[in-house]
Amino acid sequence: MKQRIIALRYLLSALAVSAALSLVCFAQQASSGAVLPAVKTAPADPAATLVADWTRARDYTKEYLDAMPEDGISFKPTPDIRSFAEQMLHLATANFAFVSTATGKPNPYQGKQLEKMDEYKTKAALTKIVMESYDFAINAAKTVDLKKADEPVKFFSFDLTRGSAWSKGFEHQTHHRAQTTIYLRLKGVKPPQEKLF
């Protein structure tokens, strides 16, 4: 009985919050003087959009790398998960792999497990290799042949298209960068402001 009451409270709280947010949205739309902030729109050209998105992601990731102090590079919130450096090196490895799959351009680190390599576990070396992975993506996006977006490709054991390799790669780097937010917080660092646009 107690669990049902608790569940009912949660449900009612969620409905109340939802109703309140709906009213705020309605009030903003109904207000004739309401001015919504300008949003930067993506370029109409899909290749230019790809370049813009990967450039924004690179700049955002650089802010994360800059924010983490040198003594936090090897930090692990718990012993059984990746360190901050290993998260970023995993991100970089995947950037190279996804973009290579999407474009057919040779992966300059094919067969190397960056997150296992100690040479990339200083702040300067880590930043350099992660930025190199984004530059690889951005330069590839500048010359992408969008007519090949539906061509089937193999990514390890997964069947993808060239276009989906681009989108999965972007999703992957976003996921791993986001994981490091808690690493920064636990080191007493405020994470960078979101760069959605």
Report pLDDT digits (tens) over 96-148: 999 999 999 999 999 999 999 999 999 999 999 999 999 999 999 999 998 99
153 by DSSP, 3-state: which? strand
Mean pLDDT on 48-55: 96
Alpha helices, DSSP H, located in the chain: 2-30, 46-67, 84-103, 123-142, 162-186
CB of 75 closer than 8 Å to CB of 88: no
What is the architecture, at CATH level 2, of domain 46-186? Up-down Bundle (1.20)
- Summary mean pLDDT of the chain: 85
Report pLDDT digits (tens) over 163-188: 999 999 999 999 999 999 999 999 99
Categorize the per-residue pLDDT at 43 as very low, low, confident or very high, splitting at 50, 70 and 90.
Answer: low
User: Crossing angle for the helix pair 84-103 and 46-67, nearest 10 degrees?
Assistant: 160
pTM, whole model, 2 decimals? 0.77
Mean pLDDT on 149-165: 92
What does the domain layout of the chain look like in residue ranges?
Answer: 46-186
Q: What is the pLDDT of residue 3?
A: 53
Mean pLDDT on 3-23: 44
